[in-house]
Copies of this chain bind each other. A is one copy, B any other.
Amino acid sequence: MPRGWYGGGPGGWWQRQFRGGGYRITMPRQIILQVLDESKRHLSAEDIYLKVYQIYPTIGLTTVYRTLELLVRMGLVFKFDFGDGRARYELTRGDGNLSHHHHLICTNCGRIIDYDDFIEEELELIKKTRQELEKKYGFEIRNHTLQFYGLCKKCKAIKE
C-alpha cells in the first residue's frame, strides 16, 4: 500500500500542486504518478512507459517524457544519470530538502543498489557543505547525489 497515495484529501496528494500551477489533471499524468508511486526506484522512461502501457495502452512515449519533465520541474520527481546513457526517475516522496538519493553502480553489469546507511553523519556533512557552498558561491542548493562506482559481488567474483 503506497505511502501517501490515498492521503491528503480526495483525489490524491499531488493534485493540489497541479491545480495551483495551472496544470490539468489528465489520465496519463495520473497513471504515470501511480506507476512511480507503486514502483521500486530508478525507473527509466521506457520502464515507465511499459508499466503505464499495461494500464492505459494508448499512452505515448512522448507523453511519458513530457510528464516526467514536468514532474521534475515541479520537484515531485528526481532525475538521475547513472552513466549508462538513459536517465532514471523516482518520486521525491515529499521529504523536501532531506531526501536521500544514493546508489552503488556496478560499472561492469550496470546493477544498481540503493543504500541509506550512514545517514546521520552524511546529513551532518551535507548540511555543513550546503551552508558553506551557499555562502561561498551564492549557490542555492536544491538537492544532491552521492554515487559509488565499482564492481558488484558477482562481477568481482567473475573477474577473479
Contact = CB atoms under 8 A, between A and B. Distances in A.
Nearest to A118: B129
Contacts of A95: none
A122 B125 contact: yes
Interface of A: 79, 81-83, 87, 104, 106-107, 113, 115, 117-118, 121-122, 125, 128-130, 132-133, 136-153, 156
B141 A150 contact: yes
A46 to B, nearest CB: 17
B113 A137 contact: yes
B104 A142 contact: no
Contacts of A118: 125, 128-129, 132
A55 B94 CA distance: 51
Contact of A144 (B121, B137, B149): B149
A49 to B, nearest CB: 19
Contacts of A83: 79, 81, 87
Contacts of A140: 150-151, 156
Contacts of A128: 118, 121
Contacts of A107: 142
B137 A142 contact: no
Nearest to A121: B125
A24 B81 CA distance: 33
A143 to B, nearest CB: 5
